[in-house]
Amino acid sequence: MASTVGKAAIAWNAKEPLSLEDVEVAPPKAHEVRMKVLHTGVCHTDQYTLSGADPEGAFPSILGHEGAGIVESVGAGVTNVKPGDFVIALYTPECGECKFCRSGKTNLCGKIRDTQGKGVMPDGTSRFRARGKDILHFMGCSTFSQYTVLADISVVAVTDRIGTDRSCLLGCGITTGYGAAVFSAKVEEGSTIAVFGVGCVGLSIIQGAVRQKASRIIAIDLNDGKESWARKFGATEFINPTKVPRNKLLQEHLVDITDGGCDYTFDCTGNVTVMRTALEACHKGWGESIVIGVAAAGQEITTRPFQLVTGRTWRGCAFGGVKGRTQLPSLVDDYLNGQLKVDEFITHRLPIERLNEAFALMKEGGCIRCVVDM
């Protein structure tokens, strides 16, 4: 097999716009898959890494981790997909064999995590070259490229009846929020929940909580424009933290209006002060706060240990606790059966040539998800 050349949006350095250029993409080695990316979403985490805040951020690299496309070729020993299959890229792979996968306790497969975090394939090398230099991979996906190479355990084949412009969003934001509510927190019927940050992830938590029949879903965002979004997805209340009455702390206000606190709270902002508020807004004795937002290098969370002594639980999850190869096909079925909203998240569409504009849209606050046509 030969290298192929396609366009990719390269992040040469943190804080710089991506540069669209030709990239040489080497053929897949054993247990690797070369994928023609057809659509990619742009997640807040791409912006976070490009901003330089990610301790694992390394450059030059090809970002993007919310992508779907078609298998172009496979290396030796690949049995789970074949050329022509429609696939979703998985930044949380699933090998089924490692200690993590066998534990039944987590979706955090450990098989390739070390090399993935260093921006290389499992054999320690990159498949991308541009301007005579090796370019790093990102989150095992690099979907801001027309062609990318992934480990075979980092792809799942799904029916294309959904369309790759929709299935790409199941590669991160929608699955992350929905999974956090349904599979990680396991929100129960009648629960009171609070969601901090009404982006794609927060709206997906709301969608999951509606499915679990939560009775109060309190959405919280600094942007008043998010109220109508939250209510459209099923939130019962909306709070702008800057408008909390009588100079109360937001956590005190939430405890007041919920007869002692929330059953579940979710941070989808990546702000460590918000994470504390979310924990302290939980009900004494049983409330659980789930951290989803990613915080900048050097940031740490604090609270009084008494908050935990008195029965609140503080935890987090990645990719909603979802095992991609096992569970994503059924989420696609849910979409096809009308039980999972996906189309509603797409506020913008751009061609690859305008991918940088997706980051500007994210900052403006009116964009839930921008789908990029590769």
Give the catalytic positions in this structure: 43-45, 65-66, 95, 98, 101, 109, 113, 172, 369
Q: Which of 74, 168, 205, 220 binds ligand NAD (CB under 6 A)?
A: 220
- Residue from the set 101, 112, 182, 185 that interacts with Zn ion by CB under 5 A: 101
Give the burial string for 285-299 (b: 16+ CB within 10 Å, else e). Answer: eebbbbbbbbbeeee
CB nearest ligand NAD: which residue?
Answer: 199
Which of ligand NAD, Zn ion, ligand AHE, none does residue 59 bind (CB under 5 to 8 Å by kind)? none
Interface with ligand NAD, residue 292, by CB under 6 A: yes
Q: Does 54 interact with ligand AHE (rule: CB under 6 A)?
A: yes
For the bound state, the minimum distance from the C-beta of residue 301 to ligand AHE, rounded and expressed in Å, comes to: 13
Positive/negative CA dihedral, 284, 288, 294, 300: positive
* Stretch 244-263 residues interacting with Zn ion (CB under 5 A): none
Residues 6+ apart with CB under 8 A from 39: 67, 68, 69, 164, 165, 167, 168, 371, 372, 373, 374
* Residue 98 interacts with, from ligand AHE, Zn ion, ligand NAD, none (CB under 5-8 Å by kind): Zn ion
Using CB under 5 A as the binding rule, whether residue 20 contacts Zn ion is answered as no
In the bound complex, what is the minimum distance in angstroms from residue 138's beta carbon to Zn ion?
Answer: 11
Nearer to ligand AHE, 82 or 118 (CB): 118
Question: CA-to-CA distance for 255 and 257, rounded, in angstroms?
Answer: 6
HEC letters along 127-144: CEEECCEEEECCCCCCCC
Interaction of residue 150 with ligand AHE, rule CB under 6 A: no
Cα–Cα distances (Å) from 173 to 3, 46, 218, 356, 360, in that order, read 31, 12, 19, 19, 18
What would the two tokens of residue 227 be?
């109220």
Distance of closest approach, residue 190 Cβ to ligand NAD, in angstroms: 25
Number of amino acids touching ligand AHE (CB under 6 A): 13
Determine the interface stretch with ligand NAD among 10-18, 208-216, 254-262, 290-298 (rule: CB under 6 A): 290-298
Instruction: Write phi, then psi, for 2 (nearest 5 degrees).
Output: -105, 165
Nearest residue by C-beta to ligand AHE?
45
205 touching ligand AHE, by CB under 6 A: no
3-state secondary structure of 322: coil
User: Six-digit token pair at 288?
Assistant: 């659980």
Question: Which is nearer to Zn ion, 111 or 341 (by Cβ)?
Answer: 111
Distance CA 217, CA 328 (A): 25
**Per-residue DSSP letter, 10:** E
Q: Which residues, numbered 169-198, are part of the site for ligand AHE (CB under 6 A)?
A: 172
Question: What DSSP line would sit under 177-243, residue for residue?
Answer: HHHIIIIIS-PPTT-EEEEE--SHHHHHHHHHHHHTT-SEEEEE-S-TTHHHHHHHHT-SEEE-GGG
Question: What is the CB neighbour count within 10 angstroms for residue 334?
Answer: 16
* Least spacing, CB of residue 240 vs ligand NAD, in Å: 8
327 binds ligand NAD (CB under 6 A): no
Tokens of 187: 């929100």
Among 266, 319, 345, 359, binds ligand NAD (CB under 6 A): 319
What residues between 132 and 191 interact with ligand NAD by CB under 6 A?
172-173, 176
In Å, how far are 43, 174, 345 from 298, measured between CA atoms? 22, 28, 32
Q: How many residues does the chain have?
A: 374
Q: Choosing among Zn ion, ligand NAD, ligand AHE, none, which partner's interface includes residue 109 (Cβ < 5 to 8 Å by kind)?
A: Zn ion
* Contacting positions for ligand NAD (CB under 6 A): 43-45, 48, 172-173, 176, 196-202, 220-223, 226, 241, 268-271, 274, 292-294, 318-319, 362, 365
* Contacting positions for ligand AHE (CB under 6 A): 43, 45, 54-56, 91-92, 108, 113, 172, 294, 318-319
